Amino acid sequence: MEKNNLYPIFLKMYQLQTLIVGGGHVALEKLTFLLKSSPNANVHMVATFFREDTKALANRFDINMIVISYEESFLCDKDLIIAATNNRDVNKQIYKDAKSRNLLINVADTPELCDFYLGGVVTKGNIKIAISTNGKSPTMAKRLRQFFEEVIPEEINDLTQNLNQFTKTIKGDFALKVTKLNKLTKGLLTE
């Protein structure tokens, strides 16, 4: 049986410089996903054209957009690259350029040219759940995201805040704190 060996991480996107190359439907999808999860992300976009809805979203979040053909120099000072043009050759060139600079890259709809995938994300206050299908089925990730958004109550954030306050009051070493928190939260799974 195939196994998902990806390692999930949560990035502080406001500290990273992200470049999206493309301005069409796929670029809009990537930008929308990124801003939904990290509205304060530092994103720059480069494309020969931008759809009106892409421009509207980018303007709402103060995203820097440049109307020009891709050049390798656009990778300078960037940390994360998303290639989302409708030209496979351009996307492959972006991939090669990014790899030569040791940058992390996602080439839309080309899993073999991705260092990372943009999975489904559920956010409820301070709780964030990432869903990955190992790049096999974005539709499944979307359906799971919708399911978890429905079943996880908004009050989960209150519980998180309360547990945070309780944790600060526990005296003792790390092992004792873990034991007390495990005992306190055990009922969350049995009710």
φ and ψ at 120, to 5 degrees? -80, 145
Q: Which of 109, 115, 158, 173 is catalytic?
A: 109
User: Facing residues of 120 across strands?
Assistant: 131
The three-state secondary structure class of 42 is strand
User: Facing residues of 124 across strands?
Assistant: 127
φ and ψ at 9, to 5 degrees? -135, 155
Whether residue 53 lies in the annotated active site: no
User: Facing residues of 130 across strands?
Assistant: 121
Residues tagged active-site: 109
